[in-house]
Amino acid sequence: MTSAENEAAQNGTAATEDVAVEETVDTETAPPKRDLQQLFVCGFLAVLGVLVIVDAARLGGFSASNDPIGPKPVPIILGILLFVVAGFYALNVLRGGHGEDEGANAGEKFDFTTVGLLCAVFVANALLIDWLGWVISGSLLFWGAAIVLGSRRYFLTLAAAVVLGLATFYGFAIGLGLGLPAGVLQGIL
């Protein structure tokens, strides 16, 4: 990023010195690939703005002597700012702006199947943790995540998962008093 900035600065000075150079610099850097997927971010910000304002409108606007403005103004200001930023963001995107390092690799292929599977494993843990307990659900989380991410040694991974589950339960829950559930293994562990 820094070297790019340097270059840009040098290009800038070069351009001021010589108009002819400016032309070439312009044509070199001119066609920025617009990454219109970024408009999703603007949409997200706008939706967030709506949610914030709708909720704020519901709040009782009463004010007391010890709290003259009440809880309402801050969310309303935030909501308005969200719209403003979403607008400028969209403008920036349409002019070809993009974020830091990641913008450069924006065109890469994304493997959304893996992301989806990983989320599924994660949600499974959230659903099962209170019933099965941390040792089982956590082990399943580790095992599932490792398999989804490309591990092919099913049994070794499972062994590692169980060891991790047991070690963290005994170490943190029993040793350090961390609130992890024992679940169906209550009384066995």
**Using CB under 8 A, which residues numbered 138 to 157 contact another protein?**
138, 141-143, 145-151, 157
Supply 12's token pair.
């800038």
Q: Contact between 186 and another protein (CB under 8 A)?
A: no
Min dist CB 187 to another protein, Å, is: 19
Min dist CB 52 to another protein, Å, is: 6
What is the amino acid identity at position 64? Answer: A
For residue 140, count other CB atoms closer than 10 A to its CB. Answer: 20
Min dist CB 160 to another protein, Å, is: 7
Binding mask 50-79 for another protein (x = CB under 8 A): -xx--xx--xx-xxx-xxxxxx--xx--x-
Please classify residue 17 by burial: count the beta carbons closer than 10 Å to its beta carbon, then call 0-12 exposed, 13-18 middle and 19+ buried: exposed
Q: Contact between 46 and another protein (CB under 8 A)?
A: no
Min dist CB 129 to another protein, Å, is: 5
Q: Contact between 22 and another protein (CB under 8 A)?
A: yes
DSSP 69: S
The answer to whether 148 and 117 are in contact (CB under 8 A) is yes
Comparison of 59 and 187: residue with beta carbon closer to another protein: 59
Provide the strand spans (E) within 23-136.
Answer: none
Site for another protein in 83-122 (CB under 8 A): 85-86, 88-89, 92, 95-103, 106, 108-112, 114-115, 118-119, 122
Could you say which of 34, 162, 172, 182 contacts another protein (CB under 8 A)? 172
Q: Contact between 188 and another protein (CB under 8 A)?
A: no
- The number of C-alpha atoms within 13 Å of 90 and in the hemisphere containing its C-beta is 12
Closest CA relative to residue 169, chosen from 132, 143, 144 = 132
Q: Contact between 24 and another protein (CB under 8 A)?
A: no
Q: How far is CA 32 from the centre of its chain?
A: 25
Provide the strand spans (E) within the chain.
Answer: none
